[in-house]
């Protein structure tokens, strides 16, 4: 009965190393049972005891606490019009419970090339400085194109970093393996060093890999989490009784099945290590209802083709070579120790339709590939960053009754089509970036969804919601896959439900685990993806129809529950630029803060406390309700500094991605990779990721602020606003990526500096023959040099952007420039002849650059010639250059430089627009020739109009800022006991002496040493708050602060 459920939950926590063997034994004894069901409990063990969850590991205690607290919801359900919860019939362990009341569920896990199980090589790598460099795709150090991300942090191995994140759970793994007789020593450091020195048995190596897989965002964690539901059902007495009639079936396979829809399994585009890991998973869980669905196509391994052909030949269905694509469903055959084909669905068309950027959405197509083989009444799609605790699986049968309650006579009309529930963001344990991202995801995925559900306007936005399988199959799938428009494919399923006046409620009694990006660059890519996708949402036909039909009141709710967050960020970002320009105009008009104050204008002062802090209030209130006031204030205040810089930067990311989407009409997919939190972020990768979205706007804003400051300096007595928020934003855009980079060590700083300098000065991609490759590399994000970075962007804009959009942008910018000329004092324009003369001299040097075979000496000289402006200026414009003195003329110098560069770039745009329009209208020219001529024109203008030269200057400024920031952080770590590492990653790494490697010298984790030093027992965990619970009190209030009396112990729901 209920004790078997308790034993199953405890075993699951033990097998996943969330508790120690001693913890597991104690928890079972508290319920009056033994851990091993085959060994009867002694009289002493049968005595039920209270459990002090405060002295158990945090995660295990929280999982158990939430499980018991949420059981109240099950008891509160009414399964008939005149009765409530009946233990004998409604509890899954009840004596009269009907196994037929549990609907069947299919869980689909779409996978592409995500990590299935971390490899041995990956876990052992990371500690060498070479591991912190960009790698080559062919895995040959120092050879090929160094475009792959680093393999580690350059200080610790990847396994050591994971241990530092979860030292208690590594100790539990060691104790479990030792108790099972798999290792001789019970010392956790010995297990680590035996793994590093390849002294472990194959079984132990797999155990270590699976331990790591359960603590990172892997396919294995998702698969194991999905299997928990079937495993939970298989422990129920009535389920065992039902399947005893069908000995040929696996337990619960008619009620629960898991489909791993792996798109690249066995394909040349896939990863052989992932294929091996998939087979390992299938073999390890062969007794569960786990299936593999893969795409059979050109490029698939010959042995898979042969396996499918043999299956079809044995049934006489298709002749060899009768089809080119097929969807194949397999399972693991324990007797043959290999895959066995179960079903084959030949297809006429590929899984993804279309070409280039206009191919159908990959994940939606892969979901559909798995859905074709789904047999469950209800379906759940899980991304490869999810999981669940087995205790939550026991509640799923009750949650599914929300679709069709047992007392509903009409079984053809479910009350809802999607059903959402809480999300536990487990990556919050993986450093500061993980905490910031987890806070945002939890706020939206739990707090916001619960609120919208209460208003009756919640829509499905993503996984792991349950959905009506019949409804999904009859509407083409779980999400839309149209190219370009449906980048955020899951949202359109919610639109589909709302357009048909169906419901998508949210419940708070079920909670699945979900991961989010834990490194800064990956988090930025995620925000860029979803914000760019919001533009395609606005452009979609679904959005248009929905806004037409739901009325003004619901339209407002719909707006604020869909794209309002992204639109508001765009408006805030735009207001920053307008704010600075406005004060420049005020100063040019002689209106300083003093006169503005006299006029009663609110512009006379600025707000130091931003309104964005108001958004902290709902989260703070929710934290107080969930964890108590002390914990809530600690979390909110402690994370304020990190959240401020993180979200100032990410809000800019969102705004720029939306601008890009509006200009191009294309929502681009960004692959985040979900790397571990310690992955080093090279300065080259940082620059390539943010040069256009953050650094360019930061330089523009800095120029505007410099103009405002120089003008205000001349208006003595009028005063000057400090513009604190502008300075904070500008600073955050420059330094935040380095601030959130792990392990600022002097050697790594010097290494990054050299690599970034080589990247800036490299000439890769500068030849005419390289243009086609430059375009391809720019789209894939694998540029090799600064030249390729800038040129690929220019080629993309002027070759592929819509001509009308480019014309409108050009006209708007020219109009702004003309307005500025009329607004500026005439004296400012007197300096423009100086710039024109220097420009003509620089063009001679640029001509030499092309004539001398792209010699960089001429390119550098074309920029250095601008230093001759000061001595030549008096010869060109006479005494106006420094009359009455240079300090007085300083504002004119700054403003005239900005005006000249503005119109220089407009001239470039005019030339390129003229070239594109001419080529478009020119008769008798092939499209190939048109593209070639246009690209060559772009390449020439890229250098002649100083795009490359200015980009080089900006890159070197960024290099200096990175060096200063990283050097300051390195000094703080060295002097202040690794305080930056403690703030960004964890305490374990911070306690490692500066310059040393964690666990390198045979030292146990500091967590374990502290316990030994203070004499703490293995079941005590130093918590100030204890919670007592009798394991049989199934409906007691269980919130770590109270203990209630016992209730009926006969059955648990």
User: Phi then psi for 758, rounded to 5 degrees?
Assistant: -65, -35
- Helix or strand or coil: residue 102? coil
The one-character DSSP state at 50 is B
Paired with 296 in beta bridges are 326
- Give the number of C-alpha atoms closer than 13 A to the C-alpha of residue 858, restricted to the C-beta side: 17
User: Phi then psi for 522, rounded to 5 degrees?
Assistant: -65, -40
Residue 566 near residue 534 (C-beta atoms within 8 A) = yes
Nearest to 312 by CA among 322, 303, 302: 322
Tokens of 513: 């685990």
* Strand-strand pairing, 338-347 and 378-381: unpaired
Cα–Cα distance list, 218 to 109, 112, 278, 1002 (Å)? 11, 12, 11, 29
Tokens of 657: 């991605």
pLDDT at 1044: 30
Burial 748-765 (b: 16+ CB within 10 A, else e): bbebbbebbeebbebbbb
**Dihedral sign from CA coordinates of 584, 590, 594, 595:** negative
d(CA 192, CA 151) in angstroms, rounded, equals 19
Residue 320 near residue 309 (C-beta atoms within 8 A) = yes
Tokens of 653: 């990311």
Q: Which run of H or E residues covers position 565?
A: helix 564-588
DSSP string, 286-348: TTS-EEEEEEE-TTB-HHHHHHHHHHHHHHT-S-TTS-SEEEEEEEEETTTTEEEEEEEEEES
Paired with 380 in beta bridges are 107, 466
d(CA 520, CA 739) in angstroms, rounded, equals 10
Paired with 346 in beta bridges are 326
d(CA 269, CA 277) in angstroms, rounded, equals 16
8-28 pLDDT tens trace = 999 999 999 999 998 898 888
Residue 212 near residue 204 (C-beta atoms within 8 A) = no
Nearest to 174 by CA among 194, 158, 191: 191
The structure tokens 């791993």 sit at 260
DSSP string, 515-535: ----SHHHHHHHHHHHHHHHH
Paired with 136 in beta bridges are none
d(CA 372, CA 131) in angstroms, rounded, equals 42
Paired with 292 in beta bridges are 260, 330
Helix axes 640-664, 629-638, angle to 10 degrees: 60
Residue 900 near residue 835 (C-beta atoms within 8 A) = yes
Tokens of 165: 């994140």
d(CA 157, CA 118) in angstroms, rounded, equals 13
d(CA 168, CA 436) in angstroms, rounded, equals 23
User: Phi then psi for 645, rounded to 5 degrees?
Assistant: -70, -40
> Which 3-state string (H, E, C) describes 924-963?
CCCHHHHHHHHHHHHHHHHHHCCHHHHHHHHHHHHHHHHH
Tokens of 548: 């037409």
d(CA 120, CA 195) in angstroms, rounded, equals 9
Tokens of 250: 């696996």
Nearest to 793 by CA among 896, 660, 602: 660
d(CA 447, CA 622) in angstroms, rounded, equals 8
d(CA 922, CA 930) in angstroms, rounded, equals 9
Nearest to 509 by CA among 185, 66, 825, 38: 66
Nearest to 1038 by CA among 64, 37, 209, 228: 64
Cα–Cα distance list, 250 to 159, 291, 380, 888 (Å)? 36, 13, 21, 87
Paired with 353 in beta bridges are none
d(CA 157, CA 153) in angstroms, rounded, equals 8
d(CA 121, CA 154) in angstroms, rounded, equals 15
d(CA 365, CA 479) in angstroms, rounded, equals 9
Cα–Cα distance list, 252 to 102, 232, 242, 287 (Å)? 10, 9, 9, 11
User: Phi then psi for 704, rounded to 5 degrees?
Assistant: -60, -40
Tokens of 172: 């539990």
Query: Is-above-0.95 flag for pTM?
Result: no
Distance from CA of residue 958 to its chain's centroid?
25
Nearest to 29 by CA among 11, 52, 49, 1: 49
d(CA 889, CA 553) in angstroms, rounded, equals 57
Residue 22 near residue 1018 (C-beta atoms within 8 A) = yes
Identify the segments of the chain with pLDDT beneath 70: 37-49, 78-83, 137-144, 553, 561, 608-612, 717, 1012-1053
> Which 3-state string (H, E, C) describes 863-929?
HHHHHHHHHHHHHHHHHHHCCCCHHHHHHHHHHHHHHHHHHHHHHHHHHHHHHHHHHHHCCCCCHHH
Q: Which residues contact 108 (CB under 8 A, 6 or more apart)?
A: 259, 261, 367, 370, 371, 374, 379, 380, 381, 382, 478
Cα–Cα distance list, 938 to 145, 768, 881, 986 (Å)? 25, 11, 35, 48
- Helix or strand or coil: residue 424? strand
Residue 101 near residue 406 (C-beta atoms within 8 A) = yes
* Strand-strand pairing, 105-111 and 256-262: parallel
d(CA 614, CA 629) in angstroms, rounded, equals 18
Paired with 109 in beta bridges are 260
Distance from CA of residue 628 to its chain's centroid?
29
Residue 57 near residue 169 (C-beta atoms within 8 A) = yes
**Other beta carbons less than 10 A from residue 625's beta carbon:** 10
Residue 792 near residue 147 (C-beta atoms within 8 A) = no
The one-character DSSP state at 53 is G
Burial of 475 (0-12, 13-18, 19+ CB in 10 A): middle
Cα–Cα distance list, 654 to 273, 484, 524 (Å)? 35, 18, 9
């Amino acid at each position: 009965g209920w004790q078997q459920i308790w034993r199953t939950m405890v075993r699951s926590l033990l097998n996943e190393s969330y508790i120690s063997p001693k913890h597991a034994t104690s928890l079972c004894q508290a319920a009056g049972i033994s851990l091993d069901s085959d060994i009867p409990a002694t009289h002493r063990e049968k005595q039920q005891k209270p459990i002090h969850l405060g002295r158990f590991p945090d995660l295990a205690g929280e999982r158990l606490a939430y499980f018991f607290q949420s059981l109240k919801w099950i008891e509160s359900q009414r399964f008939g019009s005149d009765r409530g919860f009946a233990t004998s019939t409604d509890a899954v362990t009840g004596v009269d419970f009907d196994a037929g009341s549990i609907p069947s569920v299919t869980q689909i896990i779409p996978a592409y090339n995500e990590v299935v199980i971390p490899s041995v090589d990956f876990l052992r790598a990371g500690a060498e400085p070479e591991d912190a460099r960009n790698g080559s795709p062919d895995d040959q150090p120092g050879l090929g194109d160094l475009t792959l991300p680093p393999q580690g942090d350059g200080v610790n191995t990847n396994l050591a970093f994971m241990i530092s994140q979860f030292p208690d759970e590594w100790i539990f793994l060691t104790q479990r393996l030792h108790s099972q007789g798999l290792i001789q020593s019970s010392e956790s450091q010995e297990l680590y060093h035996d793994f590093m020195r390849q002294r472990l048995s194959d079984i132990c190596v797999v155990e270590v890999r699976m331990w790591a897989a359960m603590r990172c965002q892997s396919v294995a964690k998702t698969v194991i989490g999905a299997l928990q539901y079937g495993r939970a059902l298989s422990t129920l007495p009535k389920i065992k009784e039902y399947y005893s009639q069908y000995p040929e079936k696996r337990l619960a396979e008619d009620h629960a099945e898991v489909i791993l829809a792996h798109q690249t399994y066995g394909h040349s585009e896939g990863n052989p290590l992932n294929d091996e890991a998939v087979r390992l998973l299938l073999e390890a869980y062969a007794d569960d209802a786990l299936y593999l669905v893969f795409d059979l196509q050109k490029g698939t391994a010959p042995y898979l083709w042969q396996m499918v052909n043999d299956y079809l030949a044995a049934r006489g269905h298709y002749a060899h070579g009768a089809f080119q694509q097929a969807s194949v469903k397999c399972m693991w055959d324990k007797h043959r120790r290999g895959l066995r084909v179960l079903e084959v669905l030949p297809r006429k068309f590929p899984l993804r339709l279309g070409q280039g950027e206009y191919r159908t959405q990959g994940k939606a197509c892969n979901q559909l590939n798995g859905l074709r083989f789904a047999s469950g009444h209800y379906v759940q799609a899980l991304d490869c960053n999810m999981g669940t605790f087995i205790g939550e699986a026991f509640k799923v049968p009750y949650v599914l009754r929300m679709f069709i309650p047992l007392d509903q006579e009409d079984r053809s009309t479910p009350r809802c089509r999607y059903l959402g529930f809480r999300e536990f963001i487990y990556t919050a344990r993986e450093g500061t970036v993980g905490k910031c991202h987890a806070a945002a995801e939890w706020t939206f995925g739990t707090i916001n969804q619960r609120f919208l559900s209460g208003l009756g306007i919640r829509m499905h936005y993503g996984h792991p919601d349950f959905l009506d399988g019949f409804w999904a199959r009859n509407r083409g799938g779980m999400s839309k896959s149209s190219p370009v428009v449906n980048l955020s494919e899951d949202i359109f399923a919610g639109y589909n439900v709302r357009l048909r006046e169906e419901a998508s409620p949210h419940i708070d009694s079920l909670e699945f685990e979900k991961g989010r990006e834990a490194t800064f660059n990956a988090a930025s890519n995620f925000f860029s993806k979803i914000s760019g996708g919001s533009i395609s949402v606005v452009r979609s036909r679904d959005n248009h129809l929905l806004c037409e039909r739901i009325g003004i009141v619901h339209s407002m709710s719909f707006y604020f529950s869909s794209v309002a967050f992204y639109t508001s960020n765009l408006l805030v970002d735009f207001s920053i630029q307008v704010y600075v320009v406005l004060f420049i105009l005020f100063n040019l008009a002689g209106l300083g803060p003093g006169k503005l104050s006299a006029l009663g204008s609110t512009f006379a002062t600025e707000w130091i406390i931003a309104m964005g802090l108001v958004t902290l209030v709902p989260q703070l209130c929710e934290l107080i309700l969930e964890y108590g006031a002390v914990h809530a204030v600690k979390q909110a205040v402690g994370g304020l500094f990190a959240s401020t810089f993180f979200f100032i930067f990410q809000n800019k990311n969102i705004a720029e991605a939306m601008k890009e989407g509006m200009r191009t009409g294309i929502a681009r997919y960004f692959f985040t990779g979900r790397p571990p939190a310690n992955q080093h972020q090279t300065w080259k990768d940082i620059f390539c990721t943010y040069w256009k979205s953050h650094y360019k706007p930061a330089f523009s804003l800095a120029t505007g602020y410099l103009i405002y400051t120089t003008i205000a300096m001349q208006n003595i007595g009028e005063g000057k606003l400090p513009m604190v928020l502008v300075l904070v934003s500008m600073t955050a855009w420059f330094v935040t990526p380095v601030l959130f980079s792990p392990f600022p060590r002097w050697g790594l700083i010097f290494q990054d500096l050299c690599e970034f300098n080589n990247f800036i000065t490299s000439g890769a991609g500068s030849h005419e023959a390289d243009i086609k490759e430059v375009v391809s590399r720019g789209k894939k994000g694998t540029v090799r040099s600064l030249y390729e970075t800038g040129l690929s962007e220019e080629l993309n804009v002027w070759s592929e952007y819509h001509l009308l959009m480019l014309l409108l942008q050009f006209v708007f910018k020219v109009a702004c420039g003309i307005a500025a000329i009329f607004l500026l004092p005439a004296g400012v324009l007197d300096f423009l002849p100086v710039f024109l003369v220097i420009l003509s001299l620089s063009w001679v040097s640029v001509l030499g650059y092309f004539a001398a075979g792209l010699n960089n000496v001429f390119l550098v000289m074309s920029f250095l010639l601008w230093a001759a402006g000061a001595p030549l200026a008096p010869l060109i414009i006479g005494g106006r250059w420094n009359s009455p003195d240079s300090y007085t003329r300083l504002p004119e110098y700054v403003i005239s430089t900005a005006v000249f560069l503005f119109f220089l770039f407009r001239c470039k745009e005019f030339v390129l627009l003229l070239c594109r329009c001419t080529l478009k209208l020119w008769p008798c020219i092939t499209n190939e020739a048109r593209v070639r001529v246009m690209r060559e024109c772009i390449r020439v203008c890229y250098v002649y109009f100083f795009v490359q030269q200015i980009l080089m200057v900006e890159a070197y400024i960024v290099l200096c800022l990175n060096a200063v920031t990283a050097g300051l952080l390195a000094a703080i770590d060295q002097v202040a006991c690794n305080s930056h590492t403690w703030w960004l990653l964890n305490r374990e790494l911070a306690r490692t002496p500066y310059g040393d490697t964690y666990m390198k010298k045979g030292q146990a984790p500091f967590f374990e040493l502290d316990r030994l030093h203070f004499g703490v027992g293995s079941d005590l965990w130093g918590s100030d708050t204890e919670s007592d619970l009798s394991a049989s009190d199934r409906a007691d209030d269980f919130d770590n602060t109270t203990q209630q009396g016992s209730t009926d112990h006969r059955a648990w729901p």
